[in-house]
């Protein structure tokens, strides 16, 4: 079975922006041999090394604009405006991977979980918690069973 990397990113100090890291924490225990989990506040160029040896990567993040409860889509390597900044989009990180390793990045997906409250000091909203639970069920059914 191919290794899966679940990478949740967002700021836990900003309410619903914690959705990505919270999703990943749900899969930290019990450990599964074919699943690695990682969190950070943002995607950095250094994270390109985390993709090595993976067959599939799922990036999870909060999103204020997607439909409820979440949106799941395949993503491709693409250079964008974030390419030259400190924080990258998932597509830009895949692009960097291709440049560094001279091969295609693992199959990658973006799970955008609908959030509502992103102010500094906010706690997770009830609606976002419901969306998180739906996303966890989806990942269990769609990703963990593949």
Q: What CATH number should be reported for the domain holding residue 139? A: 3.40.50.1450
Instruction: Give the pLDDT band (50/70/90) at residue 24.
Output: very high
Which residue range is the domain that position 101 belongs to?
Answer: 4-143
**Residue 81 burial class via C-beta count within 10 angstroms: exposed 0-12, middle 13-18, buried 19 and up:** exposed
Please check the confidence at residue 88 and state whether its pLDDT lies above 70: yes
The count of domains in the chain is 1
| Cα–chain center distance at 110 | 6
Average pLDDT over residues 23-48: 89
């Amino acid at each position: 079975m191919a290794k899966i990397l679940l990478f949740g990113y967002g700021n836990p100090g900003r309410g619903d922006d914690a959705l990505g890291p919270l999703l990943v924490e749900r899969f930290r225990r019990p450990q599964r041999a074919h699943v690695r989990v990682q969190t950070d506040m943002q995607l950095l160029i250094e994270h390109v090394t985390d993709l090595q040896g993976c067959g599939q990567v799922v990036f999870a993040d909060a999103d204020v604009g997607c439909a409820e409860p979440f949106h799941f889509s395949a993503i491709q390597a693409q250079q964008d405006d974030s390419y030259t900044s400190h924080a990258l989009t998932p597509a830009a990180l895949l692009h960097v991977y291709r440049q560094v390793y001279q091969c295609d990045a693992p199959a990658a997906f973006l799970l955008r979980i609908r959030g509502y409250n992103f102010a500094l000091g906010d706690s997770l909203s009830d609606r976002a918690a419901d969306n998180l639970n739906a996303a966890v069920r989806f990942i269990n059914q769609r990703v963990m069973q593949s």
